[in-house]
Amino acid sequence: MLPVSNRSPPHSHTLNHGAAGDALVAVALGTPHFSLAEFRTLDTLLDAFDGKPACDFYVNTSRFILWELEEAGLAEKFAARGIQIVVDTCTYITPVMKQLSGLVMTNSGKWASYAPANIGVTVAYGSMRECVRSAYEGKVRFDD
C-alpha cells in the first residue's frame, strides 16, 4: 500500500496549468479510484471547513468502496457536504462533470494528463489538502 501524502508530488509543476488565485469550476479526485483510506483522509480534511465547496467536487471510486462508505455512514456524510461520488468510471471519460470548460484542480497525475484532451478542461495540480482548500475557496491555493 502506498502512503497518502498531503504534499505536492515532485515534478508536479509539469502537470499544473493553474496559478494561485485562479478561479475553479471543479475539483476532481480519485483517478485511479479512491480507496477507503483516502476517503478517511478526505473526511478529516473536510473537517477544517464549514458548509459546501465553492465549486463542484467529484471523487471517483469503485462500487465496492462506495458500499464500504455506505456501511460506515460516510457516503451520506460526503453527499451532505456537496461531494459527488462517481462510481466505476472517471470524470474525464464520461460526461459526469457539470462544467466542461474552465479550470479543474486534481491531485491525480493520470487525471491531469488525460482530462485536457478528453474533456477540454485546463488542470491545476496539487496535493489532496490543496485541492480541498481550493474547493472551499473556489480558487487555486497551494501550500507554501
Instruction: Kindly report the CATH number assigned to the domain that includes residue 60.
Output: 3.30.499.10
d(CA 106, CA 73): 25
* Residue at 120 is within a domain: yes
Q: Which three cell numbers stand for residue 33?
A: 479510484
Read out DSSP for 84-106? EEEESS-TTTSTT-S--SSEEEE
If one counts the domains in the chain, the total is: 1
29, 59 contact by CB (below 8 A): yes
d(CA 52, CA 142): 20
pLDDT in tens, the chain (144 residues): 334 444 454 445 578 999 999 999 999 999 989 999 999 999 999 999 999 999 999 999 999 999 999 999 999 999 999 999 999 999 998 779 998 899 999 999 999 999 999 999 999 999 999 999 999 999 999 997
pLDDT at residue 13 in the model:
58
Query: Which residue segment(s) compose the domain that 86 sits in?
Result: 16-137
Burial class (CB in 10 A: 0-12, 13-18, 19+), 76: exposed
Phi, psi of 49 (to 5 degrees): -125, 150
* Residue at 46 is within a domain: yes
Cell numbers 491531485 correspond to 107
